[in-house]
Amino acid sequence: MGILEEGDVRLNYEVIGEGSPVTLLHGFTQSGRSWHEVISLMPPGWQWVLPDLRGHGATHVRPGAAYTMEACTEDLVNLWDRLGIARTHLVGYSMGGRLALHIAATRPERILSLLTVGAHAGLDEEAREGRRRGDEALAQRIESEGLEAFVDYWSRLPLFEGLERRGPAFLAQVRAARMDNHAAGLAGSLRGSVRAGWRIVVTIGRIAVQ
Protein backbone atom coordinates (compact mmCIF):
# COMPACT_ATOMS: atom_id res chain seq x y z
CA MET A 1 0.00 0.00 0.00
CA GLY A 2 1.11 3.56 -0.65
CA ILE A 3 -0.14 7.06 -0.01
CA LEU A 4 0.26 10.03 -2.34
CA GLU A 5 -0.47 13.40 -0.73
CA GLU A 6 -0.81 16.03 -3.42
CA GLY A 7 -2.90 19.21 -3.22
CA ASP A 8 -6.38 18.43 -1.91
CA VAL A 9 -6.14 14.62 -1.93
CA ARG A 10 -4.56 11.83 0.08
CA LEU A 11 -4.62 9.10 -2.55
CA ASN A 12 -4.42 5.49 -1.42
CA TYR A 13 -2.94 3.04 -3.92
CA GLU A 14 -1.36 -0.39 -4.24
CA VAL A 15 1.28 -1.70 -6.65
CA ILE A 16 1.53 -5.44 -7.31
CA GLY A 17 4.12 -7.23 -9.44
CA GLU A 18 6.81 -6.11 -11.86
CA GLY A 19 6.79 -5.57 -15.60
CA SER A 20 4.78 -3.48 -18.03
CA PRO A 21 2.47 -1.16 -16.05
CA VAL A 22 -1.30 -1.66 -16.07
CA THR A 23 -3.49 0.83 -14.18
CA LEU A 24 -6.83 -0.62 -13.07
CA LEU A 25 -9.72 1.78 -12.32
CA HIS A 26 -12.54 0.37 -10.20
CA GLY A 27 -16.28 0.97 -10.38
CA PHE A 28 -18.62 2.93 -8.12
CA THR A 29 -18.69 1.67 -4.48
CA GLN A 30 -15.55 -0.42 -5.11
CA SER A 31 -11.85 0.21 -4.47
CA GLY A 32 -8.51 -0.80 -5.89
CA ARG A 33 -8.55 -4.11 -4.09
CA SER A 34 -11.64 -5.19 -6.04
CA TRP A 35 -9.16 -6.15 -8.77
CA HIS A 36 -7.24 -8.65 -6.61
CA GLU A 37 -9.09 -11.70 -7.92
CA VAL A 38 -8.48 -10.70 -11.54
CA ILE A 39 -4.79 -10.14 -10.87
CA SER A 40 -4.49 -13.56 -9.21
CA LEU A 41 -5.56 -15.15 -12.50
CA MET A 42 -3.06 -13.27 -14.64
CA PRO A 43 0.44 -14.43 -15.65
CA PRO A 44 3.57 -12.70 -14.31
CA GLY A 45 5.26 -9.87 -16.16
CA TRP A 46 2.88 -7.04 -15.28
CA GLN A 47 3.02 -4.20 -12.78
CA TRP A 48 -0.53 -3.63 -11.51
CA VAL A 49 -1.36 -0.13 -10.24
CA LEU A 50 -4.52 -0.03 -8.12
CA PRO A 51 -5.67 3.42 -6.94
CA ASP A 52 -8.69 4.12 -4.75
CA LEU A 53 -10.42 6.84 -6.78
CA ARG A 54 -11.75 9.98 -5.11
CA GLY A 55 -14.70 9.21 -2.85
CA HIS A 56 -13.75 5.55 -2.50
CA GLY A 57 -11.80 3.21 -0.26
CA ALA A 58 -9.03 4.72 1.84
CA THR A 59 -8.55 7.81 -0.34
CA HIS A 60 -9.50 11.09 1.35
CA VAL A 61 -10.10 14.53 -0.12
CA ARG A 62 -10.16 17.86 1.64
CA PRO A 63 -13.70 19.15 2.43
CA GLY A 64 -14.96 21.19 -0.49
CA ALA A 65 -12.52 19.62 -2.97
CA ALA A 66 -13.66 18.48 -6.40
CA TYR A 67 -14.57 14.91 -7.34
CA THR A 68 -14.57 15.61 -11.07
CA MET A 69 -12.99 13.53 -13.80
CA GLU A 70 -10.43 16.27 -14.25
CA ALA A 71 -9.45 16.03 -10.57
CA CYS A 72 -9.26 12.22 -10.77
CA THR A 73 -7.16 12.46 -13.93
CA GLU A 74 -4.73 14.80 -12.18
CA ASP A 75 -4.48 12.34 -9.28
CA LEU A 76 -3.51 9.55 -11.65
CA VAL A 77 -0.97 11.66 -13.55
CA ASN A 78 0.65 12.59 -10.22
CA LEU A 79 0.65 8.93 -9.20
CA TRP A 80 2.27 7.81 -12.44
CA ASP A 81 4.90 10.52 -12.02
CA ARG A 82 5.54 9.32 -8.46
CA LEU A 83 5.99 5.74 -9.68
CA GLY A 84 8.12 6.73 -12.67
CA ILE A 85 5.52 5.50 -15.17
CA ALA A 86 5.70 7.44 -18.41
CA ARG A 87 2.96 5.42 -20.14
CA THR A 88 0.59 2.73 -18.89
CA HIS A 89 -1.99 0.29 -20.15
CA LEU A 90 -5.32 1.54 -18.76
CA VAL A 91 -8.30 -0.61 -17.76
CA GLY A 92 -11.53 0.73 -16.30
CA TYR A 93 -14.80 -0.81 -15.14
CA SER A 94 -18.09 1.15 -15.17
CA MET A 95 -17.32 4.47 -13.45
CA GLY A 96 -13.64 3.66 -13.84
CA GLY A 97 -14.27 2.96 -17.51
CA ARG A 98 -15.75 6.42 -18.03
CA LEU A 99 -12.73 7.91 -16.29
CA ALA A 100 -10.43 5.80 -18.48
CA LEU A 101 -12.12 7.17 -21.62
CA HIS A 102 -11.71 10.70 -20.30
CA ILE A 103 -8.01 10.14 -19.62
CA ALA A 104 -7.45 8.63 -23.05
CA ALA A 105 -9.11 11.67 -24.62
CA THR A 106 -7.32 14.32 -22.57
CA ARG A 107 -3.94 12.72 -21.77
CA PRO A 108 -3.31 10.27 -24.63
CA GLU A 109 0.45 10.65 -24.30
CA ARG A 110 0.30 8.71 -21.00
CA ILE A 111 -1.62 5.70 -22.37
CA LEU A 112 -0.23 2.55 -24.01
CA SER A 113 -3.62 0.89 -24.56
CA LEU A 114 -7.21 1.25 -23.37
CA LEU A 115 -9.72 -1.37 -22.21
CA THR A 116 -13.11 -0.48 -20.72
CA VAL A 117 -15.78 -2.76 -19.27
CA GLY A 118 -19.38 -1.61 -18.80
CA ALA A 119 -18.67 1.94 -20.00
CA HIS A 120 -19.80 3.90 -23.03
CA ALA A 121 -18.67 7.02 -24.84
CA GLY A 122 -21.37 9.35 -23.55
CA LEU A 123 -25.03 10.27 -23.74
CA ASP A 124 -26.94 12.75 -25.84
CA GLU A 125 -28.01 15.97 -24.13
CA GLU A 126 -31.48 14.78 -23.09
CA ALA A 127 -30.12 11.55 -21.65
CA ARG A 128 -27.28 13.40 -19.89
CA GLU A 129 -29.75 15.66 -18.13
CA GLY A 130 -31.75 12.66 -16.95
CA ARG A 131 -28.55 11.01 -15.71
CA ARG A 132 -27.57 14.16 -13.81
CA ARG A 133 -30.94 14.29 -12.08
CA GLY A 134 -30.80 10.60 -11.25
CA ASP A 135 -27.30 10.80 -9.81
CA GLU A 136 -28.20 13.86 -7.73
CA ALA A 137 -31.21 12.01 -6.30
CA LEU A 138 -28.98 9.04 -5.52
CA ALA A 139 -26.41 11.29 -3.83
CA GLN A 140 -29.14 12.80 -1.67
CA ARG A 141 -30.35 9.32 -0.79
CA ILE A 142 -26.88 8.32 0.39
CA GLU A 143 -26.62 11.45 2.55
CA SER A 144 -30.08 11.12 4.07
CA GLU A 145 -30.24 7.35 4.66
CA GLY A 146 -26.59 6.60 5.41
CA LEU A 147 -24.05 4.17 3.99
CA GLU A 148 -25.49 0.88 5.21
CA ALA A 149 -29.00 1.52 3.90
CA PHE A 150 -27.56 2.63 0.57
CA VAL A 151 -25.30 -0.44 0.27
CA ASP A 152 -28.32 -2.69 0.94
CA TYR A 153 -30.31 -0.85 -1.74
CA TRP A 154 -27.43 -0.86 -4.24
CA SER A 155 -26.70 -4.56 -3.73
CA ARG A 156 -30.32 -5.46 -4.54
CA LEU A 157 -30.27 -3.81 -7.98
CA PRO A 158 -30.94 -6.24 -10.87
CA LEU A 159 -27.54 -5.28 -12.28
CA PHE A 160 -25.86 -7.37 -9.57
CA GLU A 161 -28.14 -10.42 -9.55
CA GLY A 162 -25.46 -12.49 -11.27
CA LEU A 163 -23.21 -12.20 -8.22
CA GLU A 164 -25.48 -14.61 -6.37
CA ARG A 165 -23.96 -17.44 -8.41
CA ARG A 166 -20.72 -16.91 -6.50
CA GLY A 167 -22.38 -17.87 -3.23
CA PRO A 168 -22.99 -16.25 0.19
CA ALA A 169 -19.30 -15.92 1.13
CA PHE A 170 -18.53 -13.91 -2.01
CA LEU A 171 -21.61 -11.71 -1.54
CA ALA A 172 -20.51 -11.00 2.03
CA GLN A 173 -17.06 -10.06 0.77
CA VAL A 174 -18.49 -7.64 -1.80
CA ARG A 175 -20.78 -6.07 0.80
CA ALA A 176 -17.92 -5.63 3.28
CA ALA A 177 -15.86 -3.89 0.60
CA ARG A 178 -18.72 -1.50 -0.17
CA MET A 179 -19.10 -0.77 3.54
CA ASP A 180 -15.46 0.38 3.64
CA ASN A 181 -16.55 3.54 1.81
CA HIS A 182 -18.01 6.74 3.29
CA ALA A 183 -21.40 8.28 2.51
CA ALA A 184 -19.97 11.74 1.83
CA GLY A 185 -17.35 10.33 -0.52
CA LEU A 186 -19.80 8.29 -2.57
CA ALA A 187 -22.21 11.24 -2.83
CA GLY A 188 -19.36 13.50 -3.93
CA SER A 189 -18.25 10.96 -6.51
CA LEU A 190 -21.73 10.79 -8.02
CA ARG A 191 -21.97 14.56 -8.29
CA GLY A 192 -18.47 15.00 -9.63
CA SER A 193 -18.40 12.26 -12.24
CA VAL A 194 -21.31 13.65 -14.29
CA ARG A 195 -19.87 16.56 -16.23
CA ALA A 196 -22.34 18.62 -18.24
CA GLY A 197 -21.94 19.01 -21.97
CA TRP A 198 -19.34 16.42 -22.98
CA ARG A 199 -19.17 13.15 -24.79
CA ILE A 200 -16.29 11.06 -26.07
CA VAL A 201 -15.99 10.90 -29.85
CA VAL A 202 -13.92 8.03 -31.26
CA THR A 203 -12.51 8.16 -34.77
CA ILE A 204 -9.82 6.01 -36.32
CA GLY A 205 -6.66 6.48 -34.28
CA ARG A 206 -8.07 9.37 -32.24
CA ILE A 207 -10.25 9.96 -29.17
CA ALA A 208 -11.56 13.43 -28.36
CA VAL A 209 -13.89 15.17 -25.90
CA GLN A 210 -16.75 17.28 -27.24
pLDDT of residue 193: 74
pLDDT of residue 56: 97
The residue extents of the domains of the chain are 2-209
Q: Does this model's pTM top 0.85?
A: yes
Q: Tens of pLDDT along 159-178?
A: 899 999 999 999 999 999 99
pLDDT of residue 77: 98
- To which CATH superfamily is domain 2-209 assigned? Alpha/Beta hydrolase fold, catalytic domain (3.40.50.1820)
Strand blocks (E) in the chain: 2-6, 9-16, 19-25, 45-51, 60-61, 88-93, 111-117, 200-203, 206-209
Reported confidence tier of residue 132, pLDDT bands at 50, 70, 90: confident
Residue 129: pLDDT over 90:
no
Strand 2-6 with 60-61, pairing = unpaired
* Mean pLDDT of all residues in 123-139: 81
pLDDT of residue 124: 67
